[in-house]
Amino acid sequence: MIGVIDYGASNIRSVANALKHLGADMKLATRPAEIARAEKLILPGVGAFRPGMERLQQQGFVEFLLDSANKSVPILGICLGMQFLLESSEEDGFFEGLGLIPGKCVRFQIEGKVPHMGWNQLEHDGSNPIMRGIPTVNSYAYFVHSFHATAIPDSCVIATTEYGYPYPSIIGRENIFGAQFHPEKSQQVGLRLLKNFCDL
C-alpha cells in the first residue's frame, strides 16, 4: 500500500486520482497511524514552506517521515513536498526542513517571470530507476513554483530543468526522491514517474 500524506495540500486529490488511474493500492492519511504499514509514502504539496512544515509537525508526520526514511521506506516528495525533503528553505525567512537530502530551497534570481509556471523540459541521462521509460530528450513536465532546490550534491541530482539557469528538478538519495514539478499534471511523463516509484 502507498500512503499519501494529507496535511491540507491542495493537489492531494489530483495525486490520488493519478495513482488510482495507475491501479495503485493507495490510502490518504491525516494521521501516521493510518499508514503505519505503508510500503511507500508520497508527500504532495502546494503552498508556502513554513506553514506546510508546521502542519506536518502538528499532525505527527515529521517524526513519522524521518523514522520511515531510516527504515528504508521509499518516499516521494512532490513540488512543495520535494522542498520539505531538503535541510532548509529561505522562503519567509529561514526554516528547517526534514534534512533527508542535502541542500536548501531559494527563490529564483532571474529577470523573468516568477513563479516558474507551465511546461518545461527535464534533462536527465536515464540512469536512475525512477526515470525508467522516460525519454532523455523532449520530456516535458508541468511546473508551478517560485523557489527551487540548490546546493544539492551532484550524486543526488537526477534531472535538471532550465529557467533562467539550470536547477535540480528531480532529486534522489537512496530511498528518498523528490520531483519539483507536478507528476499528476504532467501527462505521460508524470504518470510514468509515478508508476516507476510505485514499482520500486
Q: Tens digit of pLDDT for each residue in 141-159?
A: 999 999 999 999 999 999 9
Read off the pTM. Answer: 0.97
pLDDT of residue 112: 84
Calculate mean pLDDT across residues 74-99. 96
Rounded percentage of the chain residues whose pLDDT exceeds 90: 94
Length of the chain: 200
> Where in the sequence is the domain holding 122, given as residue range(s)?
2-199
CB 117 within 8 A of CB 144: yes
Q: Active-site residues: which are they?
A: 79, 182, 184
Number of domains in the chain: 1
Instruction: Please say if the pLDDT value at position 93 is more than 90.
Output: no
In the prediction, which pLDDT does 111 show?
Answer: 87
Cell matching residue 198: 510505485
Mean pLDDT of 81-105: 96
12: CATH: 3.40.50.880
Say which residue the cell 529564483 belongs to: 108
Asked if 101 and 85 count as a contact pair (C-beta separation under 8 A), the reply is yes
